[in-house]
Structure 1
Amino acid sequence: MSDDLTRDPFARLRQATRARIGLGRSGAGLPTSALASFRLDAARARDAVHAPLDVAALQDELSGFDTLALASAAADRSVYLRRPDLGRKLSHESRSALREGGYDLAFVICDGLSSAAVQAHAGATLRAAHEALSDLSIAPVAIVTQGRVAVGDEIGQGLGARMVAVLIGERPGLTVADSLGIYLTHNPQPGCPDSDRNCLSNIHLSGGQTPVQAASKLAWLVREARRRGLTGTKLKEEAPSLAASEIMPLPERPKD
């Protein structure tokens, strides 16, 4: 048995999980290093929730796409966090900006509960998905601030899209603060139940599925949903896994 395992019997388990286990103690409290790590991750999670989405930067990243900058009925972040219902519908001004076009699919990007996730991964995920679905008619990309998943239903209906895919920042945790989720809905309309959606979650570069992997699964779901005329609990995601050679490497993210 190695000296490390003799001194720390949890060392081997930590190699298999990002959970905080066997942190040890210093007197009645945590060791300084464990406490500092916890506080840093908690701060990152808070920042992910409260930091505003840089819409202009996202639009620059999506150069070449037609985009619509929209807002939910939640006037600011404080209202958004206290009134989830207002994040599920558009403001009056944004609703009037929608033009029906008879599209196969609409992409909606929402800050959700992690603008960090959207800023880091939405662009790469959207580009990969758009390329995989290039034979479909795709609506202008809607970017919604203070938005929740269900706001995509109103947008999809307003654009005349048969399906809507909402890319949204997931609730941050103490291990990952920049996890992106995708929710796909066939025949979107206000009042659509969550059971009629398919979800792809845990999209990030710290042990989750990569944007390219998520885009591949989304493309499979979109084609099956189109063929069968439904999404949700009756449509199981059974997309084949990408071979390692098919996963294109992403540019390295800048270090802090």
Structure 2
Amino acid sequence: MNNELQHRHPIQEDPWSSLKAFTTARIALGRTGTAIPLREVLAFKLAHAHARDAVYSKLDITLLMEQLQPFHTGTLLLHSSAADRQEYLQRPDKGRRLDADSIKTLRTLPAALLQKDVAVIIADGLSATAMNIHTLPLLTQLLPLLKAVGISIGPICLTEQGRVAIGDEIGELLKTKMTLMLIGERPGLSAADSMGAYLTFNPRVGNTDEARNCISNIRQEGLQYDTAAGKICYLLQEAIRLQLSGVGLKDNYESRERLE
């Protein structure tokens, strides 16, 4: 019976199936009869499950603290004013501000840890899975580049239940020239583990998104760690040189590489 049904409704490939070699997007699914093939339906359900898992995933604090220790920058554990994941998802505003304990931690730091060029912040965002996977490989590439060009960084801030704008408050309290927010991006149905990097010059509470530069899709199947690290280092240098970030700061990193 199964063989008979398979013969009556074979999977018909789309003419553009060859394009699947260039993207992980869900294209050229084919059809069987008037329906999407069962394998594609099941793959969609699996991708959706991975995306949901990523949204509710947690930072592996123990692992990340161990991985960050060799960088000798010091690590601070901070938390937004969102008490838990449910509140974080329902109240985006609370993910943008620190809780009272975290504010106290930053305000009582010794002066030697303040007024650095860049505050590096690691936040779960909407995919802690991404941060657990990509933080160490990216920083292994990035931090030596920053050191080589003379950019100083303060203690790395591990921030739970954080959104992008929480970096403004952290940078303001640390009195840094810039913030570099590494955060788990909203998972899609082709990538549940994508990291984003947001750069903001003169971080202050109340900054809006046009004041930031974003580098997205940092992952093994997307923007490679070495390229992402190079872009971030370039943009940080240019932001400090020009005293700005956001729409006024252009990413000419690839153009510069071609000239070299």
Q: In the aligned structure 2, how far is the partner of 1:95 from the partner of 1:228?
A: 30
The two structures have a TM-score, normalised by structure 1, of 0.88
1:195 aligns with 2:195: no
Partner Cα distance (1:127, 1:92) in 2 = 32
Larger-Rg structure? 2
- Quote the Cα distance in structure 2 between the aligned partners of 1:242 and 1:38: 40
Which residue does 1:122 correspond to in 2? 135
Residue of structure 1 equivalent to 2:88: 80
Identify the residue that residue 175 of structure 1 maps to in structure 2: 190
Distance in 2, Cα, partners of 1:16 & 1:102: 45
Q: Write the distance in 2 (CA, Å) between the matches of 1:54 and 1:117.
A: 11
- Long gaps (5+) in structure 2: 1-11
Of 213, 226, 231, 1:212 maps to 226
Aligned to 2:254, what secondary structure does the other structure show?
coil
Task: Please name the residue that 2:156 is paired with.
Answer: 141
Are the structure 2 counterparts of residues 104 and 59 from structure 1 closer, same or farther at C-alpha, using a change threshold of 3 Å?
Answer: same
CA distance in 2, matches of 1:226, 1:13: 41
Give me the whole-angstrom Cα distance separating, in 2, the residues matched to 1:158 and 1:133: 22
Contact 1:213–1:242 (Cα < 8 Å) also in 2: no
Displacement after TM superposition at 1:213 (Å)? 0.9
CA distance in 2, matches of 1:106, 1:88: 16
User: Structure 1 residues 191, 25: closer, same or farther in 2, change over 3 A?
Assistant: same
Q: CA deviation at 1:7?
A: 5.6
Query: Which structure shows the bigger proportion of residues in helix conformation?
Result: 2
Q: What SS does the aligned partner of 2:249 have? A: coil
* Aligned 8 A contact 2:13 2:28 in 1: no
Alignment partners' CA distance in 2, 1:121 and 1:162: 25
> Does residue 97 in structure 1 map to residue 112 in structure 2?
no
Cross-structure match for 1:223? 237
- Structure 1 gaps of 5+ residues are 1-5, 244-256
Contact 1:72/1:145 (<8 A) preserved: yes
Q: Secondary structure of the residue that 2:46 maps to in structure 1?
A: helix
Matched-pair contact (CA < 8 Å) for 1:200–1:214 = yes
Compared with structure 1, are the counterparts of its residues 7 and 153 closer, same or farther at alpha carbon in structure 2 (3 Å cutoff)?
Answer: closer
Q: How many pairs align? A: 237
Instruction: Classify 1:109/1:237 alpha carbon distance in 2 versus 1 (closer, same or farther; 3 Å).
Output: same
After superposing on structure 2, the runs of 4+ consecutive aligned residues of structure 1 that deviate more than 4 Å are: none
2-side partners of 1:45 and 1:240: how far apart?
31
1:26 CA drift (Å): 4.1
When the two structures are superposed, what TM-score results if normalisation uses the length of structure 2? 0.86
RMSD: 1.7
The offset of 1:205, in angstroms, is: 0.7
Separation (CA, whole Å) in 2 of partners of 1:102 and 1:82:
34
Question: What is the CA–CA distance in structure 2 between the aligned matches of 1:95 and 1:163, rounded to whole Å?
Answer: 18
Q: Is the 8 A contact 2:126 2:186 kept in 1?
A: yes
CA contact (8 A) 1:118 1:180 kept: yes
Q: Counterparts of 1:8 and 1:31 in 2: how far apart (Å)?
A: 12
CA distance in 1, matches of 2:208, 2:244: 13
- Identity level (%): 45
Q: Contact 2:13–2:31 (CA<8 Å) still a contact in 1?
A: no
Residue 36 of structure 2 is aligned to residue 22 of structure 1: no
SS at match of 1:133: helix
Structure 2 Cα separation of the partners of residues 227 and 19 of structure 1: 38
Alignment correspondent of 2:58 = 52
CA distance in 2, matches of 1:145, 1:28: 46
Correspondent of 2:119 among 106, 121, 144: 106
Shift of 1:9: 2.3
The alpha-carbon distance between structure 1 residues 236 and 33, as it changes in their structure 2 partners (threshold 3 A), is: same
Structure 1 position 13 matched with structure 2 position 29: no
Q: Distance in 2 between matches of 1:122 and 1:33?
A: 33
